[in-house]
Structure 1
């Protein structure tokens, strides 16, 4: 893993162009402490095998680096069991980086590590949202920014984001109560194609997505195993969970190159590949 150049360029206009710079945290202290989502409830009794989680995370990082991404690592902190999910603590929209306002007490201090990193690398950022907003709810689609109105991202924060981004259309999507973040049920994988878990959305919001994208539907089981939470890394390449075999076949049939990675230990805490990457720059 390399460092980021001082004053590094911040850029993310989509979810699928070439991934150039990204922030991760090793799952060194990952564990399910207080149940904050449905997936954790399911795995509460067998919890996280940390050596296996570390091995799987390392294999994922190797795939990113082998495909040209520069991967920087934030310091893992023993008191932050959810820290592996760096996507939530910040989000890049075009040339602006925003530090999130976390909703759950167990995660609030995570923003301190990312702010220290950004300051050290002279990367400017915005923060201080009213209510709460987390990066897993923010999906960039050119001049449209889709934002999940979830238990983690409030209406007041979405309105504030629109205020700060007058040149863009911030499009809220109401999520079913048990859904953690937007990227657990929706992910844009090319200019025309997106993955979606339809039951998570209202009829009106689903119609908005159908009008904009060719949608690949994921099943309930695939959603439980974080099927939509793939990571597009450019040139049609998608990092996807090896266990989601049906979905991976469909992606391949649509012309995507699927890079299968076993992330079975990480997903026990309710997140997968997109959740584990805070994008700083895409080409």
Structure 2
């Protein structure tokens, strides 16, 4: 069947009972300096005002939700002149206590990479790698079980995929993004468990869609409406899935699979192209 043909919709995967949440440790950065003063993605419009107090209140609610669910949240101090530092997921990728640093594509964010690596070094992490090629942390690297899905197309250099595979010793599967509104992998795909994901097919090339169907034939596919509200910029602990409250179709699909979706309001941070996952870097020690 040609890749351009319509793929028949698969029958819904059976509901899994007894979903179990796994306690996680996260790194977050309070948005005390958050603003939209430049534009490096289609969501950013410097002419639209940003309510800093509201952004901080929404971020605080997300942090509190994590803690109420039993997760540990560490914080990094935000730095002046780095309004996007709130998006901690971009700061690094951490697997088995090994830290693969981030090197940003746009000059406005380049200082974030060293700032995050300093945080890890000051807390005793010894296996820390400053990358040769551009990668934007967990924005484009998502860990599924013992595999890493790696995005490219707008930010991360595809050469960094081999660099990450060599550093972590885990298979890295490249996926190419084609829609600038979904400029990072974590805007178009979310990890739900060690073998489950949800994603928006239209954000990927035909070849990448085929790879995802091969690896995850029962994956939840997002509607354009849910993708447009950043519904895939979500975080799952294996049972609870935190995602934008307006992603109504995804929340229903998650319930059908036995997950417990929790709607979160991060509309102020969405003005810079970020939501739940963007604010959250998982520390896999």
Q: TM-score range by the shorter chain?
A: 0.7 to 0.9
* 1:122-271 map, 5 Å: 122-135=124-137, 136-165=139-168, 167-178=169-180, 179-213=182-216, 214-234=218-238, 236-271=239-274
Q: Using CA pairs under 8 Å that are at least 6 residues apart, name the structure with larger relative contact order, 1 or 2.
A: 1
Report the more deviating stretch, 261-270 or 51-60.
261-270
* 1:46-85 map, 5 Å: 46-85=48-87
Deviations 1:53-104 (Å, cap 9, x if unpaired)? 1111111100001111111111111200101101001011234221111111
- The yes-or-no answer on 1:36 pairing with 2:40 is yes
Q: Whole-Å Cα distance in 2 between the matches of residues 47 and 37 of structure 1?
A: 17
Q: Which residue of 2 aligns with 1:23?
A: 27
| Number of residue pairs the alignment of both structures matches | 263
SS of residue in 2 equivalent to 1:40: coil
SS of residue in 2 equivalent to 1:269: coil
Q: 1:125 to 1:278 in 2, by over 3 A?
A: farther
Q: 1:17 to 1:180 in 2, by over 3 A?
A: farther
Deviations 1:120-141 (Å, cap 9, x if unpaired)? 2111243232230111100112
Equivalent pair of 1:89/1:102 in contact (CA under 8 Å): no
Q: Whole-Å Cα distance in 2 between the matches of residues 116 and 192 of structure 1?
A: 33
Q: 1:130 to 1:177 in 2, by over 3 A?
A: farther
Structure 1 unaligned runs (5+)? Answer: 1-15
| TM-score normalised by length of structure 2 | 0.86
Structure 2 unaligned runs (5+)? Answer: 1-19
Which residue, 87, 90, 106 being the options, matches 1:88? 90
| TM-score normalised by length of structure 1 | 0.87
The ranges of structure 1 where at least 4 consecutive aligned residues each deviate by more than 4 angstroms after the TM superposition are: none
How far apart are 1:231 and its partner, in Å?
0.8
Which residue, 98, 101, 104 being the options, matches 1:99? 101
